[in-house]
């Protein structure tokens, strides 16, 4: 009997221990349930907050896209809606921005006396800042070029007719050029000084080629401010490259720019381009290269592809094939001008 009582007491003790453990477990369970409930509430709050932030980001992104589209449209308005028509000459252009807005630009505009202004430029940076700088540079060049005759009239009543004598430069003889063309080309140093003086703190600049084509004389007068050397192409291949005549525009006030000239013969093409052409990257990062561009130009002539537009289309096609769908690394811009050969030469 005593043994049974002892066994019962042991059993009762064990039951009590179990009850205490169960009570502790229930307390822990309650704590866990409370923690889970609190965590769930916090998780819901966090999820809702994240959702709100995502919606804000999406709204901001859509607004940014809209602004960039507007910026791209405004920038497109700075490019010629159509290229000028000059009897006996062909103009062609190609423009492919790497982003929504670009730092490259080209321009072609008629001047008095059957003369044509030709500009191609590349701002040192990318994105919105480069696009704004591009717009400023393009506007200054145009305005200052158009005002050339007015500036001459302040200097002399005969300013429109007298000639300017320039000292000889390497590879050229002494040059005489009409004063009004000289003054048109001065748009480059004036633009440089304005930008360097008023916007030097931005540390931005643009390589720029500006040519004035005197159509009746088949002569192109030009300034090359740090830009890729344009290619002068004749019927038998490349005749030469147009050299640098000064630094990039906007780097330092007071920079000096020399003026050069070339003569066109019937069928000659001048191909200008930005560095986005030779530096176009393929899928594995390989450059298109200037060497390949020059070889392609020679090949075009050898195959009888003689027009400015045909040559531009061929180069653009080859660059597109080289890039092969890779993310664009830079804007790609080209501008070409050709003196057409007479249909029935004597």
* Residue 4, pLDDT score: 47
Tell me which DSSP letter residue 176 carries. E
d(CA 46, CA 42): 6
* Residue 190, pLDDT score: 96
* Residue 38, pLDDT score: 74
**What tokens appear for 1 in the block?**
């009997």
- State the pTM of this model: 0.77
DSSP of 103-129? SEEEEEEEETTTEEEEEEEEESS-HHH
- How many helices (H) and strands (E) the chain has is answered by 7, 12
Tell me which DSSP letter residue 281 carries. B
Residue 218 gets the label, from left (phi > 0), alpha (psi -120 to 50) or beta, of left
Q: Which residues pair with 165 in a beta bridge?
A: 176
First and final C-alpha spacing in the chain: 144
Residue by residue, pLDDT tens for the chain (346 residues) are: 545 445 545 655 665 666 667 667 767 767 776 777 777 767 777 676 667 766 666 765 565 555 555 555 555 666 788 999 999 999 999 998 877 666 788 999 999 888 999 999 998 877 667 778 888 899 999 999 998 877 776 555 555 567 777 776 666 666 788 888 999 999 999 999 999 999 888 888 999 999 999 999 999 999 999 999 999 999 889 999 999 999 999 999 999 999 999 999 999 999 999 999 999 999 988 999 999 999 999 999 888 877 899 999 999 999 999 998 788 778 899 999 999 988 644 4
Q: Map out the domains of the chain as residue ranges.
A: 1-78, 86-339
* Residue 171, pLDDT score: 60
* Residue 93, pLDDT score: 96
User: Cα torsion at 238, 108, 79, 309 (round to 10°)?
Assistant: -40
Note whether 106 and 92 are within 8 A (CB).
Answer: no
Tell me which DSSP letter residue 306 carries. -
* Residue 316, pLDDT score: 94
Q: Quote the distance between the C-alpha of residue 342 and its chain's center.
A: 36
Q: Could you tell me where the beta strands, DSSP code E, fall in 124-236?
A: 163-166, 175-178, 206-214, 219-225, 231-234
CA-wise closest residue to 221 among 285, 150, 169, 147: 169
* Residue 150, pLDDT score: 79
Q: What are phi and psi of 251, to 5 degrees?
A: -75, -45
Which residue is it, tokens 């594995």?
284
* Residue 67, pLDDT score: 52
**What tokens appear for 225 in the block?**
């401010």
Note whether 125 and 225 are within 8 A (CB).
Answer: no
DSSP-based three-state secondary structure for 268: coil
Q: Hey, which CATH number is domain 86-339, 3.20.20.70, 3.90.420.10, 3.60.40.10, 1.10.10.10?
A: 3.60.40.10
Note whether 272 and 209 are within 8 A (CB).
Answer: yes
């Amino acid at each position: 009997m005593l043994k049974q009582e002892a066994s019962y007491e042991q059993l009762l003790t064990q039951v009590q221990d179990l009850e205490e453990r169960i009570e502790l477990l229930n307390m822990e369970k309650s704590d866990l349930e409370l923690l889970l409930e609190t965590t769930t509430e916090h998780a819901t709050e966090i999820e809702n907050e994240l959702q709100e932030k995502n919606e804000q980001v999406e709204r901001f992104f859509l607004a940014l896209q809209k602004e960039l589209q507007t910026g791209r449209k405004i920038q497109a308005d700075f490019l010629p809606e159509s290229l000028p028509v000059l009897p006996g000459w062909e103009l062609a252009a190609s423009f492919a921005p790497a982003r929504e807005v670009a730092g490259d630009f080209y321009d072609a505009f008629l001047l008095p006396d059957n003369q044509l202004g030709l500009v191609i430029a590349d701002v040192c940076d990318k994105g919105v800042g480069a696009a704004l700088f591009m717009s400023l540079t393009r506007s200054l060049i145009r305005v200052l070029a158009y005002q050339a005759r007015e500036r001459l009239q302040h200097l002399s009543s005969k300013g429109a007719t007298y000639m300017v004598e320039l000292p000889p430069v390497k590879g050229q003889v002494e040059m005489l050029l009409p004063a009004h063309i000289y003054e048109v080309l001065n748009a480059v140093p004036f633009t440089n000084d304005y930008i360097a003086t008023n916007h030097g703190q931005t540390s931005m600049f643009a390589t720029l080629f500006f040519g004035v084509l005197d159509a009746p004389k088949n002569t192109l007068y030009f300034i090359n401010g740090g830009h890729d050397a344009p290619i002068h192409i004749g019927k038998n291949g490349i005749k030469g490259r147009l050299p640098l005549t000064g630094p990039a525009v906007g780097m330092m006030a007071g920079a000096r720019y020399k003026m050069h000239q070339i003569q066109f013969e019937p069928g000659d093409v001048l191909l200008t381009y930005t560095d986005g052409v030779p530096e176009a990257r393929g899928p594995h990062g390989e450059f298109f290269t200037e060497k390949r561009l020059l070889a392609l130009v020679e090949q075009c002539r050898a195959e009888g592809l003689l027009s400015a537009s045909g040559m531009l289309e061929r180069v653009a096609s080859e660059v597109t094939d080289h890039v092969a769908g890779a993310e664009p690394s830079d804007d790609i811009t080209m501008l070409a001008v050709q003196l057409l050969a007479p249909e029935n030469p004597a």
